[in-house]
């Protein structure tokens, strides 16, 4: 399920400022580490619960761009996924996205290497009020389970923040 963008008012007081130096940080309940930087904010657990009230599909960790326009969420799902199945997702999952997400305008899928692991990447847009909404799902296997990284924002906001987001995603390392 694709979540709506988080609102600025919802985030007030629920953000932890980014770190001044990019050093690997182990995310609490996730089998990975990332290198956040000062241009990213971290949504604390209260903020994650407020933004994602349903426990089903609630991410384990969420980062926001400084302008609070683009979110990067990590979710380690209980769904089984073997490392050798990641490549199959590239062909199979676009049909699932089209079935579950109304009005998909564009959809690209690819297989990429990130931190030495294969990731299935799905980038799609849907109509928005003043700009199209952009979603990027990146899926890999971690501990035999599905690990999902979701980048969400409007197309223009993503473009403005792309370098910061790519620095974060390129720093992902599975433990």
pLDDT in tens, the chain (175 residues): 444 444 333 444 455 544 434 456 677 789 999 988 888 998 888 989 988 888 888 999 999 999 999 999 999 999 999 999 999 999 999 999 999 999 999 999 999 999 889 999 999 999 999 999 999 999 999 999 999 999 999 999 999 999 999 999 999 999 8
- Per the structure, the count of domains in the chain is 1
Question: φ and ψ at 115, to 5 degrees?
Answer: 60, 30
Residue 9: both structure tokens together: 């008012």
Query: Does residue 41 sit within a domain?
Result: yes
Query: Does residue 17 sit within a domain?
Result: no
Residue 13: both structure tokens together: 């007081």
Query: Does residue 51 sit within a domain?
Result: yes
Query: Does residue 56 sit within a domain?
Result: yes
Chain-centroid distance, C-alpha 56: 16
**CATH number of the domain encompassing residue 130:** 3.40.1000.10
Is the Cβ–Cβ distance between 41 and 18 less than 8 Å? yes
Query: Does residue 16 sit within a domain?
Result: no
Residue 50: both structure tokens together: 């407020």
Confidence (pLDDT) at 112: 95
Confidence (pLDDT) at 154: 97
Is the Cβ–Cβ distance between 21 and 157 less than 8 Å? no
Query: Does residue 99 sit within a domain?
Result: yes
Query: Does residue 39 sit within a domain?
Result: yes
Query: Does residue 19 sit within a domain?
Result: no
113 lies in which domain range?
25-174
């Amino acid at each position: 399920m694709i979540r709506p963008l988080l609102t600025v008012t919802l985030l007030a007081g629920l953000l932890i400022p980014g770190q001044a130096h990019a050093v690997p940080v182990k995310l609490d309940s996730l089998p990975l580490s990332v290198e956040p930087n000062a241009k990213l904010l971290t949504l604390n657990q209260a903020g994650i619960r407020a933004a994602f009230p349903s426990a089903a599909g609630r991410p384990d960790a969420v980062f926001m761009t400084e302008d609070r326009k683009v979110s990067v969420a990590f979710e380690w799902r209980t769904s089984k996924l073997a490392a050798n199945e990641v490549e199959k997702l590239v062909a199979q999952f676009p049909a699932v996205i089209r079935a579950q997400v109304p009005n998909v305008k564009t959809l690209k899928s690819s297989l990429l290497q990130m931190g030495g692991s294969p990731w299935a990447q799905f980038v799609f847009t849907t109509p928005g009020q003043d700009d199209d909404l952009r979603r990027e799902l990146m899926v890999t296997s971690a501990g035999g389970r599905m690990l999902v990284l979701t980048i969400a924002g409007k197309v223009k906001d993503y473009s403005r923040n792309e370098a910061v987001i790519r620095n974060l995603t390129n720093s992902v390392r599975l433990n």
